[in-house]
Amino acid sequence: MKDRVKDLREDHDLTQQKLAEALGITQRKYSYVETGTQPLTAELLVKLAGFYGVTTDYILCLTDKPN
């Protein structure tokens, strides 16, 4: 899951700081989620899916189909 989150960010040419700002969290918190230090909350999962226009299942690596 953490690789998918990082890959999505990099595919959109975003820094952790820019994405964190878009999600309304700190860069440090986002970094912890991306590295797996902190678990991905349901709230953040939904925000990420909405931001990228993908399903939550895609972010969680339950499917390889983004939509």
What CATH number did the domain enclosing 8 receive? 1.10.260.40
Residue 19: domain span: 2-59
The model's confidence at residue 61, banded by pLDDT at 50, 70 and 90, is: very high
Whether residue 16 is contained in a domain is answered as: yes
Number of domains within the chain: 1
Reading phi first (left if > 0) and then psi (alpha if -120 to 50, else beta), residue 45 is in: alpha
Map tokens 């983004």 to a residue.
66
Whether residue 23 is contained in a domain is answered as: yes
Nearest to 15 by CA among 25, 4, 2, 6: 6
Q: What is the DSSP letter of 3?
A: H
Whether residue 20 is contained in a domain is answered as: yes
**What is the rounded CA–CA span in Å between residue 62 and residue 36?**
17
pLDDT at res. 1: 77
pLDDT digits (tens, 9 = 90+) for 10-57: 999 999 999 999 999 999 999 999 999 999 999 999 999 999 999 999
Q: What is the DSSP letter of 54?
A: -
**Does the pLDDT of residue 2 top 80, yes or no?**
no
